[in-house]
């Protein structure tokens, strides 16, 4: 569809990423809108219904192609095998509320940094920023690049030296205000869908529209009993579906809401350390992590100090992970590729719990906000629930082929009926009724109600076993599975392990197995020393925490974990007096 577009009318959104989409620019035309409005009236609402099912047709009928810079409507198309279309209106963010004293101040390094997407966006005389919102993510128009770019995260091209230099002392109040307006609040809000919206969405399903057409036809033929039975079945199935969807929407909302609006400490260039609600955080803010058991409200890069983090919420693993500060390395290489090893060991992810934060030389632990809102790791997790990927299973393909066969059979029957009744001299009204009646016979109108009832019954059986499902249509697909593969057994087996034994080694080779099951202790040697010292265990609130394997090895040595001060105290106590 996009082959005939000129330069600037078509681009890629999230290029190279998993959710890559094509974006096309359109401008609404008044005369086309008027014609579509007239068509909606004369078609008795059928045209808006078709536009609802086919958003691309709605755009093509009401708008003309134009450059993305001039577009007031954009059409998105996924680049996967499904090529799903969606329509989005271009919105404006007005920056006139900002103080004119710093809006266009050339001495402000934040404003004059030409490499920043935010700065490119605000360089307009009217101080308005064009943006679109796709699956909870905000995209801002970049004047220099000539395309919409994702906002709400630090740029990937930043080097570790620039992150330390630019954000190591925090943002000014002016910089924070600009970023809050453009990036939006740091919240992961899952709205509770109103019942009327769920009801309309369910009723406008093509099956139920066909069912309504069939019922109206049967009433005109005085075939009321079966029509009433279909109506009652449909109402019950629609009510059950809406009730379950509403209940799941409320549960998901409460689950996500529990972790919003945490009070955090940030460091600013103007006001020093201040307390702030987490929803006001913006990329580039400098977080001060104090104390233990801190819930991370955003993704952040650790630049000073070290942290022990529980990432069980994201990974399902209960093993604490040690995070190290991002090294300050000179150069222009992006920080993700510049840091030694995997960059994730420097990142504190949203939703995870900081078990222990330890600063270097009594200085506070500092982290620069990397991503906020739905751009974070937790936000990606929630978005994957809200917007599941379409599935191209053979079951769906066969179901569509079956319906097409039924429609084809009905069409042949309708043509035959028309010929027979016209030749027999029936009235035009009677001919139309009989011809349409053939379609309702070939395609069962009770099919959607029967399918919905079956899915609801299956969902309630799953609910009794504590299985949460927000996409009931996928239950049919699950019934076709004959093999399930898991990438690990950590979540299936019991939590914990026991040390059975070790195999010591000397210069001559491996020795006999030393088993711990009989209660024997390992004699002193290199292996014993390694088991007592080579680990990442920490002492937190009087208990040892860390990797379960490290913990079991340490416990097998029967040593006692002491902090450094206790070791010194014990050492001086044991020293003989002079």
Contact between 451 and 239 under an 8 Å Cβ cutoff? The reply is no
Contact between 322 and 390 under an 8 Å Cβ cutoff? The reply is no
> CA-to-CA distance for 462 and 382, rounded, in angstroms?
21
The token pair at 365 is 């632990």
Strands 63-65 and 21-28, bridge-based pairing: antiparallel
Catalytic site residue from 222, 487, 495, 498 = 487
Contact between 182 and 140 under an 8 Å Cβ cutoff? The reply is yes
Contact between 25 and 86 under an 8 Å Cβ cutoff? The reply is no
What backbone phi and psi angles, to 5 degrees, belong to 72? Answer: -110, -5
Q: Which of 104, 127, 109, 118 is nearest to 154 (CA)?
A: 118
Q: What angle do CA 237, 240, 244 make, to 5 degrees?
A: 140
Cα-atom radius of gyration of the chain, to the nearest Å? 32
CA dist list (Å): 72 to 60, 131, 132, 146, 197:
13, 10, 10, 15, 25
> CA-to-CA distance for 457 and 169, rounded, in angstroms?
58
Q: Which of 81, 60, 53 is nearest to 2 (CA)?
A: 60
- Nearest-10 Cα torsion for 309, 313, 314, 315: 80
Token pair 């972790």 is at which residue?
A: 259
Q: How many CA atoms lie within 13 A of 130 on its CB side?
A: 19
Give the contacts of 439 (CB within 8 A, at least 6 positions apart).
Answer: 407, 410, 414
Known active-site residue 80: no
Q: How many CA atoms lie within 13 A of 86 on its CB side?
A: 14
The token pair at 182 is 């453009």
Q: Which of 188, 377, 168, 375 is nearest to 287 (CA)?
A: 168
3-state secondary structure of 191: coil
Contact between 147 and 24 under an 8 Å Cβ cutoff? The reply is no
Q: Which of 305, 311, 310 is nearest to 326 (CA)?
A: 305
Q: How many CA atoms lie within 13 A of 417 on its CB side?
A: 18
Catalytic residues: 487
């Amino acid at each position: 569809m996009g082959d005939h577009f000129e330069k600037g009318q078509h681009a890629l959104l999230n290029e190279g990423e998993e959710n890559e989409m094509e974006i096309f620019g359109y401008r609404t035309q008044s005369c086309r809108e008027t014609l579509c409005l007239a068509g909606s009236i004369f078609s008795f609402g059928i045209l808006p219904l078709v536009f609802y099912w086919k958003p691309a047709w709605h755009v093509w009928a009401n708008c003309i192609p134009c450059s993305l810079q001039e577009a007031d409507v954009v059409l998105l198309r996924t680049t996967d095998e499904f090529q799903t279309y969606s329509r989005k209106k271009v919105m404006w963010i007005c920056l006139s509320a900002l103080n004119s004293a710093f809006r266009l101040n050339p001495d402000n390094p934040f404003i004059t940094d030409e490499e920043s997407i935010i700065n490119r966006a605000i360089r307009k005389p009217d101080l308005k920023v064009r943006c679109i919102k796709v699956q909870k993510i905000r995209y801002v128009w970049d004047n220099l690049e000539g395309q919409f770019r994702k906002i709400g995260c630090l740029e990937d091209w930043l080097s570790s030296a620039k992150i330390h230099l630019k954000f190591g002392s925090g943002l000014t109040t002016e910089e924070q205000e600009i970023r809050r307006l453009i990036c939006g609040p740091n919240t992961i809000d899952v709205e509770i869908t109103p019942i009327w919206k769920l009801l309309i969405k369910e009723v406008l399903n093509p099956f139920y529209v066909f069912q309504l057409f069939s019922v109206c036809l049967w009433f005109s033929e005085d075939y009321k009993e079966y029509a009433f039975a279909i109506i009652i079945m449909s109402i019950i199935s629609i009510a059950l579906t809406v009730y379950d969807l509403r209940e799941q929407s409320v549960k998901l909302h409460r689950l996500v809401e529990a972790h919003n609006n945490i009070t955090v400490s940030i460091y600013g260039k103007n006001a020093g350390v201040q307390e702030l609600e987490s929803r006001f955080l913006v990329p580039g803010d400098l977080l001060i992590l104090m104390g233990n058991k801190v819930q991370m409200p955003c993704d952040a890069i650790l630049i000073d100090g070290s942290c022990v983090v529980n990432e069980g919420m994201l990974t399902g693993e209960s093993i604490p992970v040690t995070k190290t500060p991002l090294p300050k390395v000179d150069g222009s290489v992006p920080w993700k590729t510049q840091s030694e090893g995997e960059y994730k060991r420097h990142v504190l992810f949203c939703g995870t719990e900081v078990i222990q934060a330890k600063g270097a030389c009594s200085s506070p632990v500092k982290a620069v906000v990397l991503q906020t809102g739905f751009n974070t790791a937790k936000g990606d997790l929630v978005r994957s629930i809200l917007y599941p990927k379409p599935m191209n299973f053979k079951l769906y393909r066969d179901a569509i082929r079956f319906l097409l066969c039924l429609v084809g059979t009905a069409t042949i029957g309708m043509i035959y009926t028309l010929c027979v009744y016209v030749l027999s001299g029936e009235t035009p009204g009677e001919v139309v009724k009989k011809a349409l009646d053939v379609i309702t016979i070939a395609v069962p109108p009770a099919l959607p109600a029967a399918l919905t009832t079956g899915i609801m019954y299956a969902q309630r059986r799953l609910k009794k076993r504590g299985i949460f499902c927000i996409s009931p249509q996928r239950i049919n697909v699950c019934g076709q599975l004959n093999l399930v593969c898991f990438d690990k057994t950590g979540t299936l087996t019991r939590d914990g392990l026991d040390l059975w034994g070790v195999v010591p080694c000397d210069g001559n080779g491996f020795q006999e197995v030393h088993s711990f099951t009989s209660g024997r202790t390992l004699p002193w040697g290199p292996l014993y020393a390694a088991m007592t010292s080579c680990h990442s265990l920490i002492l937190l609130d009087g208990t040892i925490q860390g990797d379960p394997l490290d913990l079991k090895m340490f416990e097998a040595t029967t040593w006692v974990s002491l902090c450094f001060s206790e070791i010194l105290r014990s050492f001086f106590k044991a020293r003989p007096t002079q």
